[in-house]
Amino acid sequence: MEGGRPYISLTLEVDQPIEVGDFVSAFTSVAAEYNRFARQMHPDADKDATLYVSEVRQGSIIAQLIPWLPLLGGTIEGMSAVLTVEDFVRRYGTRLSAYLQPGGRAEDVTRAELQDFSEQVAAIAATPGSKLELAAIEVKNGVHEAKAAFKFDTSQAREIQERVAEHRRELEHTDRVDHARVLMVFTQSNVKTTPVGKRTGELVSIEAVSPVPRPLIYASEMAEQRIKHEIVEASDNVYKKGFIVDVNVEERGGKPVAYRVTNIHQVIDLPDDDDE
């Protein structure tokens, strides 16, 4: 690592014992994410990053990820390597931090990535008072300098863990969508917030499925927030709006009994009866 070779430093700060599986996952998940990142940049890459635990002391564990980099030669190549590692840390921090916002989601995420996100934060989420820091380190004249870094604590890790789990459920529901981009209209609304996955007390009609109104279930926090905004905050009457949605249909005896909305594509104004 001397001689200018950049690396990724991961520091786990804990003041009590942690579960071994969570500890290992905190380090291997970032290696998996870096390898995914490297192959996106260089599809012909045939090497993986190498992970070393460089230091263990009371209260902290420090690991160094030695990334596979295609360019490590002269000045220009060395700078390119530093920027590659720095770009990865910034990108990874942004994607994880997205789940600190209500309804936040990383873009173009896969199930494999969501699994890595969950494993990345598991040890911190399960260990009160702990912290995790990831940094891109440049070595110049023997000095190790952080070029980019992000850090989160137990409460933030739990938020990330909860929203990542919800995002995984959303993707599972989306994979099983029965009807995509259908028109849904309200026949009964409710301003109260209901836990995701539970019946809301609201009734909606989706004529593409059935002319009879059915109970509404929100399959995601994001879908609920979008619709509740139209019910509670928007100035227009929700009964005069249409929602273009993806929906799973819960059935009993071959007949629809509830609609589970997985995604909201668009909100439109319905024509007045006088306009028809």
Report the percent of the chain where pLDDT is more than 90.
Answer: 28
Contact between 146 and 136 (Cβ < 8 Å): yes
* Rounded Cα distance, 32 and 10, in Å: 14
The larger pLDDT score, comparing residue 117 to residue 263, is at 117
Written as six digits, the tokens of 127 are: 């260990």
Helical (H) or strand (E) element with 184: strand 179-188
Alpha-carbon distance values, 201 to 98, 211, 212, 216, 233 (Å): 30, 18, 15, 7, 19
Query: Is 123 within 8 Å of 132 (Cβ atoms)?
Result: yes
Q: Is the pTM of this model over 0.85?
A: no
Tell me the per-residue pLDDT of 68-116, one tens digit each, with 9 for 90 and over.
Answer: 665 444 333 445 777 888 899 999 999 999 999 888 889 888 888 999 9
- pLDDT tens digit sequence for 223-252: 888 888 888 877 778 898 999 999 988 887
Give the separation between CA 114 and CA 161, rounded to whole angstroms.
Answer: 10
Q: Which domains can be identified in the chain, with CATH numbers? A: 7-174 (no CATH), 177-275 (2.40.50)
